[in-house]
Amino acid sequence: MLSGTIYLVFQPGEEVGTGAPYMMEFGDWFEKTGAIFGAHLWCTFPSGTVGSRKGEIMAATEKFTIDISGKQSHGSQPQLGVDAVCIAAATVMNIQAIVARQISPLDSVVVTVGTVNAGDRWNIVGGEAHIEGTVRHFNSEISKKVKDSIRSIAENTAAAYGGSATLQYERIVPATINDDDATAFIGKAVAQVLGDGAYFECEKNMGSEDFSYFQEKKPGAYFFIGNYNEAEGTVYSNHSNHFTSDEGVLTGGAAVFAQIAVNWLAAHKRA
């Protein structure tokens, strides 16, 4: 007979990366937990399959914000201004060299500029610019190097044009790193519930998941439930406005969770 407590965690706020830390403080469930498992539908894996891996599986996410100050002037007299639009454009292009020339090609790093807002009118030299972007990685030392490089590029590029720039850099979520022993429970449960061949070792990816906050304090593992099914029309990426889920995989995913819990309790019987 199995003995133990299973907590079903329906955590909000994953999209902003802050749900998990708050969830850990909600009651005393987390401190009583011996291991934790989580899952995500994944659009590129076929329905009926489950993917996971030991160690690194999803990257850390950080956000950077650059505010550029120039000086407005009329577009007919650019020599009287400091063009924040030009500074922003040069900054974005210079940032591309960080991954290409400053990081080892053997390391997994992404630096993406997501938004650029600059200037006010078509005939005015822009006096202000605002840049936002994301950094993805698996290594905190690389994080510091990238942060320092972005700061140096922003400040020195702005100075070269006669302007100035400030950088804000914030950690959103750490890397999701699966515990080896916990990951083994996933593979076993998938084989029991969905059959041999349903489980596979997936590649790590540069997406992020705030489940990693749980893993910083408890052994745990994260896995992906395949959702790609042409017959059901579930072929769009997770963040597409056309995304839909193959409802049939939810039953299998729930069964995998249940089997993981059964197996874990059986392996950790109380004396």
Residue-wise pLDDT for 168-212, tens only, equals 999 999 999 999 999 999 999 999 999 999 999 999 999 999 999
Is residue 261 domain-resident?
yes
pLDDT digits (tens, 9 = 90+) for 20-78: 989 999 899 999 999 999 999 999 999 999 999 999 999 999 999 999 999 999 999 99
Claim to verify: residue 184 and residue 52 sit in the same structural domain:
yes
Is residue 73 domain-resident?
yes
Q: Pick 154 or 1 by higher pLDDT.
A: 154
| Exposure string over 130-153, b if 16+ CB within 10 A, otherwise e | ebbbbbbbbbeebbebbbebbbeb
Claim to verify: residue 116 and residue 147 sit in the same structural domain:
yes
To the question of pTM greater than 0.85 for the whole model, the response is yes
Q: How far is residue 34's CA from residue 54's CA, in Å, rounded to a whole number?
A: 18
Claim to verify: residue 33 and residue 130 sit in the same structural domain:
no
Expressed in percent and rounded to 5, the helix, strand and coil fractions of the chain are 35, 30, 35
Is residue 1 domain-resident?
no
Q: In the numeric block, which tokens belong to residue 28?
A: 């005393």
In the block, residue with structure tokens 């990366």 = 17
Helix and strand numbers, DSSP H then E, in the chain: 6, 12
Is residue 34 domain-resident?
yes
Residue/partner pairs of 97-104 with CB below 8 Å, 24 or more apart? 98/146, 98/149, 98/150, 98/153, 102/145, 102/149, 103/142, 103/145, 103/146
- Please check whether residue 55 is in contact with residue 89, taking contact to mean a CB–CB distance below 8 angstroms: no
Claim to verify: residue 83 and residue 39 sit in the same structural domain:
no
Averaged pLDDT of the chain: 95
State the pLDDT at residue 55: 97
Tell me the β-bridge partners of 226.
42
Q: How far is CA 144 from CA 11, 111, 169, in A?
A: 30, 13, 10
**Domain of 220: which CATH number?**
3.40.630.10
Domain boundary among 145, 173, 201: 173
| Cβ contacts of 42 within 8 Å, gap of 6 or more | 51, 224, 225, 226, 227, 238
pLDDT (mean) for 228-238: 91
| Type of residue numbered 107 | D
| Type of residue numbered 226 | G
φ, ψ at 101 (rounded to 5°): -130, -10
Domain boundary among 115, 140, 173: 173
In terms of C-beta density within 10 A (0-12 exposed, 13-18 middle, 19 or more buried), how is residue 46 classed?
middle
Domain boundary among 106, 141, 173: 173
Q: How far is residue 264's CA from residue 4's CA, in Å, rounded to a whole number?
A: 10
Domain count, the chain: 2
* Residue 185: domain span: 14-57+178-268
State the pLDDT at residue 237: 87
pLDDT digits (tens, 9 = 90+) for 6-20: 999 998 877 777 789
Is residue 48 domain-resident?
yes
Is residue 9 domain-resident?
no
pLDDT (mean) for 147-165: 99
State the pLDDT at residue 178: 98
Give DSSP secondary structure letters for 228-257.
Answer: EBGGGTB-S-TTSTT----THHHHHHHHHH
**Domain of 88: which CATH number?**
3.30.70.360
